[in-house]
Amino acid sequence: MNMDFYRTFRIGNVCMSTKSCVRPAAMAKQLSLVITTAFILVLTANRVATAQQNPVKGGAAFTARDSSIIVSGKVSDEKGNALPGVVVRAANSKKAAVTGSLGEFSIAATPNDRLAFTFIGYAAVVKNVDGSKHLDVIMKQGAKGLNEVIVTGFQEIDKRKFAGASTRLKAEDIRMDGTTDISRALEGKAAGVSIQSVSATFGSAPKVRIRGVTSLTGENKPLWVVDGIALEDVIDVSNDQLSSGDPSTLLASSVAGLNMNDVEDIYILKDAAATSLYGARAMNGVVVINTKKGRSGKMTTNYTGNFSTQLRPSYNNFNIMNSAEQMSVDAEIARKGLFNLADIGNNADKGVYGKMYDRLQTYDPATGKFLLENTQAGRSAYLQRYALANTNWFNVLFRNSLIQEHTISLSGGSEKMQSYFSAGFYNDNGWTVADKVKRFTFNSQNNYTFSDKLSAGLIATGSVRQQEAPGTVARSTDAFYGKMTRDFDINPYNYALNTSRALTAYTDNGDLEYFTRNYAPFNVLNELQNNRLKLSVLDLKLQGNLSYRITKHLRYDFLGAIRYAKTSQEDLVNENSNKAQAYRAAANAVIANANRFLYKDPDNPNAFPQIVLPTGGLYNRNENSLTNYNFRNSLNYTQTFGKHDLNILVGQEVKYANRQNALNTGYGYQYDYGGSVLPNYLVFKQASEANLPYFGMQQTYDRYAAFYATAGYTYNSRYNFTGAVRTDGSNRLGKSPSARWLPTWSLSGAWNLDQENFLKDAGKLNMLKLRASYGLTADLGSATNSAAILKAQNTYRQYARVIESGIQIVDLENADLTWEKQYSLNVGVDAAFFNNRLTTSIDLYRKKGFDLIAGIKTSGIGGQDVRVANYADLSSKGAEVTIGADIIRSMDVGWKTNLTFGYNKNEITNAKNTPIIFDQVKPEGGNKEGYPVSSLFSLKYKGLENNTGIPLFVNEAGEVSRKINLQDIETKYLVYEGPVDPPVTGGFSNTFRYKSLSLNILLTYQAGNKIRLNPVFKSTYSDLDAFPREFLDRWSLSGDQKITNVPSILDALTNYRMTDAYPYNNYNYSSARVADGGFIRVKYVALSYVLPPRMIKNIGLNNLSLTASASNLWLLYSESKLRGQDPEFFNAGGVAQPLQRQLVMSLKVGL
Amino acid sequence: MMKNIIKAGVLMCTGMMLLTACNKYLEVDPDNRTTLDTPDKVAQMLTSAYPASDYICFSESMSDNAGDRGHSGDQYSGDLLVNINAYKFIDYASTNPGSPDVYWQGCYQAIAAANQALDAINKAANQTAYKSYKGEALLARAYAHFMLVTFFSKTYDPATAANDPGIPYVLAPEKTINPAYERKTVKYVYEMIEKDLAEGLPLIDNSAYKVPSFHFNKAAANAFAARFYLFKKDYAKALTYSSQVFPGNNFKDNLRPLNTTLSTATRAERKAAFTSPDSKSNLLLATTGSTWARAWLGYQYGLNEAIAGNVFYSGNITKGSLAYNIFYYGSNNNDRGIEKWLENFVYTGPDIGNPYIYVPLFTAEEVLFNHAEASARTGDFNTAMADLNIYYSTRVVSYDPAFNGITLDKVTAYYNKAADPLGATVQAILDVRRSEFMQEGMRWMDILRNKLPLTHIDDKGAVINISADDPRKVLQIPQEAQANGLAPNSR
């Protein structure tokens, strides 16, 4: 019995009309079986017919009907759970049956018959009847079993014939309770798949890499395929953006709309052979997700509930000064003249000292005194309160949240129709006071069999998400000062880490206490309440497939899907928020001139800056929508000639995706006055002069077509050869037919050594296969200028009345533009020993990327000094090892272990881009010839200056200096630190079982990468800033430079004389502020208890289990230099949050 | 079996039909990009056909308008090398605004935009609808090449132009990465400029522009032609074109009202007025990404006390005092300047963005001076004197024609050149040009055209003597262009 069976394993009637069917007598017997046992036959007539035509060798001669006996029994798995849907076939009687919902079967057989039990995902079992009428069978989960298939999304291929590199993960094996994003659940589970949680906020995608990166400028994201349809992201978010903390990162991941409980299994396709039918989209690997399908038989109902809490972070894990330490540093800063009372009054940001100034200046007519007496005693008493405050911002801004997740699923059906329906609800009331998430999902799948030739399926899925997050705007990069800035950042995690603990959230009376930010009163709690981000996502998909068997060997398949997704992001900025008030801060002429949110009218050159938002707040909307169609037609031909197996597939695919982004900035929305709008006309005048339109809309159009063919040939079940070709066409490169089409191909072979006679009887060896593949894959690069790109852009003129619409050249034509391509070679071996108890899989690969897009500096004579072109080369190599072992496997006790290891090293072998220093030293890393993609470089730190404690570096001219031009293109004096992406990743999981109790522990690890420490140094600090404890070791006296690397705090005069040097900022980007990124994390620990069936049968339940689990518990190892900084997390502010410690109680009930 | 083959065949045919349909399906543009398929879009394309970077910083720093101010440059000026290296005649690579490299970029970007427009016009069915834009594109292309050849090649000299290396004259949009370009000769470049100018100028139609002051309108086109022929030493043509700028040669009403309206203006108003599109003097304004407005004051080398005294306060032919408001700033008496530049800072992020200024590429004053010089050089001294009197009538405080009016005799006497009325007149014009265009970068073009020598003394006292034919007067070809095959200028 080969896998052909499973491809035809389809609910069918018992073939009432076809001539080649079983004889009526046998038919009647089968039918009666169906009726009497109420079990469902799920056989195709075809299969029965085939079985009849090819009697099993060695079986007894056909026996008369009256000599048959009825054999019945029960099929269960190793844990004793009943297995419904197992196919039972009798060799002699040619009968077949299927187990019912309780795993019971009944079949007519001869007394000396042999019964074969087969079930997807389980090792086949063959038992001799030996005259017995009762037979109980235990089937073992055979993830590495003989009859496994590889689902590529295009085909289902017998694993034995498959020569590509792929990994199958069953959803229940990778399940981490409480983790909602399926991409996060892959961490440490599949060798060669690296998952970096750059932010863990709900909806934000982790950085996923399959076998490392393949492109210098592209997104390097794998292709996600759900039920055969490639999943399009609603918003394209680039590599760097993923870690930016921008609101769009919460909406970028389409996988976030998928309920983990609906997933059946996941295939990760890694090499050219495995991904061949994805051709020119597969350069970064493919993740194929299959969702659950209905099964015929009794209706089953399952409920899964997760109740979890995320633990509040604590200062114990960080390195932040308490308020007393803080105030003593502040006192030093004050002594150094940076909090001069005369200057601080008009500062944009004011903390304890600024407030003291204000109070010293404010006369209270009621008492006839100033609010604070300007005496030593008065000032000391005032400062004393804050020195003792020791505010715990984590307690103020975070809470131990409660997250509930409920999923209910119904499955069942008849011969002609099976259905699966699930509905899920997720509710998170927020780890911080500003977060909230609600998600609803549903998934409905129905399969229909119209006749033995025609079958069809329908899938409808949908998800709705409503989320709240702290108000934020997109981050911008400022290469001049060398920093990433974000206006009005109120990210609670960032705030807690960066705000002085001497500040207080409440006054002594219990009212909110305000300090000053952007010249306006600021209290973080007030701000989080009045400056919010509301996100909503609606995602609907309707998918259908149709299969028509033209002949026994030829099948036509159609697959089509329509998807509509819409996300909207609303900034709700109340009139009482600091952000709205910053637009009105004009207390005096100094502030008015300094406040950049005021407007200087060019038509009135002598006037003061004016307020453009006199009343109300802001209501900004940003909406993205996606309309996506996918259609696929294919013909599949399968034939066996003796020892020759042939399988040919040809097909055609069309994709259509329109994306729209619309934005609207609403000024003067009065939240507290019933939502009336009172805008000031000046705001529109300003916007039109600054070319910041108050609304906008952009559309992108993605058109894609492809033709593909693949042929597989197997000789004698031992030698397998597969070849595939595909040609892809896309409109993305621009309106030039020359670049449009790209053919790709792959060749692969596998040798099933275990089938060879010399190994066939090697007792300990169950499976041994050698694989090799070579092929060309590709991806669309970031460039789209096969014809010149011209874009409309208003002219930058000084007066609104002379602004005209203009057109600019964005990119000149590049007639040679083409796809990014890669040759990859993979060799692998799969083996199983000791009755499949030890399995291993080893892969080695080498990839050569070419025609990669990169920038190149030109003569400028064509009109563009830096052009992008297909010329860069990238070579990479790697190894992957997976070892699984069933160390103890007995009825009561079990111990399973699984180790994955992935190594990937890449090097840019040709790139002529000329990066500026800032591109190379930023935390996300940069690209440079001769180094890996995303390499981290540093300014070379040369110690502290003798008499000032100011840090020194090697500058762009090779001299030791305070000053570095971060925009300079001379990067040869930078120090290479290492790659930002870890070369080594993997996981180690252990599952221990004692009777119904099991314990699962997963460790994940990564090594070999470098990370930049959080930028905490500045040339001037305000009295709002928190200091890390490193500052206790700071330079304070001449001579300290010999014992410390922590720079001094500048005095006002030195800072003034610094002119255009920013040494403190440079220090953040120096070799002194880099740590090793390697870690071992206790990712997940789960303790489960499955209630014994006899206990729950009485209350009408099929199964009931309880799991207590914890994720992201702690780092077993990480470099001490990190001092609490999470090595995966980029603390970018905005909506970014680190991985949270989470405790989960999970309940599963089956009816 | 046959039936099955037919079924399969039908399916395959459907597939083939889809294949042919595919190419049409894939014709859609991937995003909101545009194609130049209407005259209006071509007009919009031409908004970017003017150099968007400035020549002021390097040319002013190289000229004798710059001297040591006695302090190092300050941080608000950004990159200081654009000033220092120009002053010291040091070749270097730079990506900062105000450098020769960036101006080179800006000119070729403008040329690319003009060529993109011309390409679209040549492919259009109805050529007449595009006529005026073709004129603008040709003039814009000619202008950018003219400025490049002026700065990056030897100044036109009929005797050597056929041998002096020019700059690449680009006639079509670039379609591949780094194609070969060649310099050819100054003579060739001048011929090409003249060709574009001759073809384009008659096509110009002011009514085609929405905002004429930012486009090659009729007056600006003629002003350009006048400047070009003055450089080409074809004075008859220079006279012709400078006479076609204002109807009836009414210069007076078009000059900046320095001694009248502007004399009582605030500093903010002066700044706004100088680059205002409403000023009749500004014949053509270019939107220019530049730090000049914020930077000139902080540079080490610029207008200082000595030069200001020499140019503005050491007397003139009219014996009147000039209405220029030379300000000095802060405690340093050397930080001199005139409020000419209003910056428009266009934000790209919270604290960052790009500064823009609006450079008058052609002004009524320049046309008047060119008209005067062309008249004198063609023997018409009366017109030259009349022109200078018109000019002074708008510059001299309380101008009195009887007292302040100048004559050829006064000019020759003033310059002590009784035997050389032409030399005296040209010198008089050069002097008014220098004071009028102070801190506008025009002085360097006068130095080039008139082969003037100059001397710079740096902060260490080192003397840099630039002779009349000094090779350092010719800016070096940018390194990246040299790396891609262009021959460098001799040093």
DSSP string for B9-49 = HHHHHHHHHHHHHHHHHTTS-SSS-B---SHHHHHHHGGG-
Q: Model confidence at B20, in pLDDT bands (50, 70, 90)?
A: low
What is the rounded CA–CA span in Å between residue A1123 and residue A321? 13
Q: Which CATH number fits domain B2-483: 3.40.50.2300, 1.10.1740.10, 3.40.50.1100, 1.25.40.390?
A: 1.25.40.390
> Between chains, do A798 and B178 touch, taking CB under 8 Å as contact?
no
Tens digit of each residue's pLDDT (9 = 90 or more) over A361-413: 888 888 888 888 888 888 888 888 898 888 999 999 998 889 999 999 999 88
Nearest CA-CA distance, residue A340 and chain B, Å = 23
What is the rounded CA–CA span in Å between residue B163 and residue B167? 12
DSSP code, position B309: I
Distances (CA, A) of B201 to B214, B244, B395: 16, 12, 32
B103 contacts: CB under 8 Å, gap ≥ 6: B51, B53, B54, B55, B58, B147, B151
What is the rounded CA–CA span in Å between residue B479 and residue B488? 9
DSSP code, position A398: B
Nearest chain B residue to A738 by CA: give it. B23
Task: List helix spans (H) across A130-247.
Answer: 171-174, 239-242
Find residue B58's DSSP bridge partners.
Answer: none
Q: Closest Cα partner for A198 from A1140, A987, A1141, A1127?
A: A1127
Cα torsion A51, A52, A58, A62: sign: positive
Q: B75 and chain A: CB distance < 8 Å anywhere? A: yes
Give the pair of three-digit tokens for residue A51.
Answer: 């079985």
Tell me if A106 sits within 8 A of A89, measured CB to CB: no
Look-up: residue for tokens 């003061």?
Answer: A608
What is the rounded CA–CA span in Å between residue B381 and residue B412? 12
Percent of chain A with pLDDT over 90: 39
Which helix (H) or strand (E) segment holds residue B241: the answer is: helix B235-243
> Between chains, do B33 and A791 touch, taking CB under 8 Å as contact?
yes
Average pLDDT over residues A141-151: 60
What is the rounded CA–CA span in Å between residue A1074 and residue A1129? 14
What is the rounded CA–CA span in Å between residue B289 and residue B346? 10
Q: Model confidence at B164, in pLDDT bands (50, 70, 90)?
A: very high
Tens digit of each residue's pLDDT (9 = 90 or more) over A327-358: 888 888 888 777 776 677 788 888 888 888 88
Q: What is the pLDDT of residue A11?
A: 31
Tens digit of each residue's pLDDT (9 = 90 or more) over A499-551: 889 999 999 898 999 999 989 999 999 999 999 999 999 999 999 999 999 99
Residues in A touching B189 (Cβ below 8 Å) = none
Q: Model confidence at A445, in pLDDT bands (50, 70, 90)?
A: very high
Tens digit of each residue's pLDDT (9 = 90 or more) over A240-263: 777 788 888 888 777 888 888 899
Q: What is the pLDDT of residue A479?
A: 65
Tell me if A286 sits within 8 A of A277, measured CB to CB: no
ipTM here: 0.91
Q: Closest Cα partner for A152 from A285, A284, A294?
A: A285
Q: Model confidence at B17, in pLDDT bands (50, 70, 90)?
A: low
Nearest chain B residue to A633 by CA: give it. B15
Residues in A touching B23 (Cβ below 8 Å) = 729, 737, 740
Q: What is the pLDDT of residue A1024?
A: 83
Q: Closest Cα partner for A809 from A794, A788, A795?
A: A788
pTM for this entry: 0.84
DSSP code, position A1050: P
Which of B174, B217, B267, B475 has the most A C-beta neighbours within 10 Å, making it the best mutation to test the interface with A? B174
Q: A604 and chain B: CB distance < 8 Å anywhere? A: no
What is the rounded CA–CA span in Å between residue A999 and residue B66? 81
Q: Where are the domains of chain B?
A: 2-483
| pLDDT, greater one: B60 or B12 | B60
What is the rounded CA–CA span in Å between residue A917 and residue A975? 11
Give the pair of three-digit tokens for residue A845.
Answer: 């690969």
Q: Closest Cα partner for A1070 from A1017, A1123, A1128?
A: A1017
What is the rounded CA–CA span in Å between residue A195 and residue A186? 7
Size of interface A-B (CB pairs under 8 A): 236
Amino acid at residue number B278:
D
Average pLDDT over residues A875-897: 92
Look-up: residue for tokens 């005799």?
Answer: B409
Tens digit of each residue's pLDDT (9 = 90 or more) over A8-50: 333 333 333 333 333 334 444 443 433 333 333 333 333 333 3
Distances (CA, A) of A524 to A575, A722, A1064: 15, 62, 27
Nearest CA-CA distance, residue A563 and chain B, Å = 19
Distances (CA, A) of A595 to A355, B125, B340: 19, 54, 25
Look-up: residue for tokens 């008047």?
Answer: B368
Q: What is the pLDDT of residue A339?
A: 74
What is the rounded CA–CA span in Å between residue A1010 and residue A605? 52
Q: A807 and chain B: CB distance < 8 Å anywhere? A: yes
Tens digit of each residue's pLDDT (9 = 90 or more) over B385-430: 999 999 999 999 999 999 999 999 999 999 999 999 999 999 999 9
> Between chains, do B33 and A789 touch, taking CB under 8 Å as contact?
yes
Tens digit of each residue's pLDDT (9 = 90 or more) over B258-289: 999 898 888 889 989 999 999 999 999 999 99
Q: B287 and chain A: CB distance < 8 Å anywhere? A: yes
| pLDDT, greater one: B425 or A757 | B425
Give the pair of three-digit tokens for residue B96.
Answer: 């900062």
Find residue A1017's DSSP bridge partners.
Answer: none
